[in-house]
Amino acid sequence: MRIVLATHNPHKVAEFQQIVAKTRPDLEVVAYDGPEPVEDGVTFAENALIKARAASAHTGLAALADDSGICVDVLGGSPGVFSAYWAGQRKDAAANLELLLDQLRDIADPHRAAHFNSTIALVTPDGQEHVVVGNWPGRLAHQASGGGGFGYDPIFIPDGQQAGAERTVGDFTAEEKQAQSHRARAFAELVPLLVGL
C-alpha cells in the first residue's frame, strides 16, 4: 500500500519511510510530485492540513504532511511555524541556523530551553482528517556540532542525556534520531490511525 508524504524534501521522505517501516512495513511512503500549496496557516496544524489536503487531492492517495519547527522559550516559541523561513524566503537552512545562534549569542544555558515540534496531518481520499503532535524537549547549544541531521539539528541538545556527555542531534546516528525525534513521537500517535487504513 502506498501513502504520499506531502513534501518535496527528500530528507523527510527518507526519515518517514524508516519510521513507518518499523510499524507498517507494507506501507510505502512516496514523495509528493504536485504543486506546492501556499502554507498560509499560523499554526503547525493548519499548515500540515493544507499540505495533506493538497497531496491527497492531487494523487488520490491517503496523504501525510508534517509541519515542524523549533520553538525557543526565550523567543516566545519562535521561530515556530516560521522555522524554515527564519532568515528569509529562500529557505536557507544554514542562514536560519546562524541567525538563531546570533540572536541567542548572549543567552546563558539556563535560558536556552527549546523543543522541536512535529505536527502530522493524515488526510484520506474520503475526507477523513486527523492531526497528531510530537514534542522533543531540550535546549540550544552555543555552536553547531556534528554532520548528521538537517535544519536546526546541529544546535539542538535533547533532554535526558548524561551530564558532561551531551550531544546535539547533529552528532546522533540516524537510528538514534529516529528513535527519539519529534517526528517519531508524533508518528507513535499516528500508528493506530494507519493500522485502520
Report the amino acid identity of residue 131.
V
Q: Are 61 and 31 in contact (CB under 8 A)?
A: no
pLDDT digits (tens, 9 = 90+) for 112-124: 999 999 999 999 9
DSSP H/E element including 95: helix 93-103
pLDDT digits (tens, 9 = 90+) for 159-168: 999 878 899 9
| The overall pTM is greater than 0.75 | yes
Say if residue 107's pLDDT is above 90.
yes
Which residues are identified as catalytic? 67
pLDDT digits (tens, 9 = 90+) for 54-105: 999 999 999 999 999 999 999 999 999 999 999 998 889 999 999 999 999 9
C-alpha cell at 177: 534520531
Q: Report the C-alpha gap between 46 and 23 in whole angstroms.
A: 26
Q: How many CB atoms lie within 10 A of CB 72?
A: 23
Q: Give mean pLDDT, residues 174-196.
A: 87
Degrees to nearest 5, angle at CA 137 with 50 and 144: 95
Q: Are 68 and 83 in contact (CB under 8 A)?
A: yes
Which range of residues forms the domain containing residue 179? 2-195
Residue 157: φ, ψ to 5°? -105, 105
Pairing of strands 28-31, 2-5: parallel
Count structural domains, the chain: 1
User: What CATH number should be reported for the domain holding residue 150?
Assistant: 3.90.950.10
C-alpha cell at 128: 477523513
Q: Are 143 and 168 in contact (CB under 8 A)?
A: no
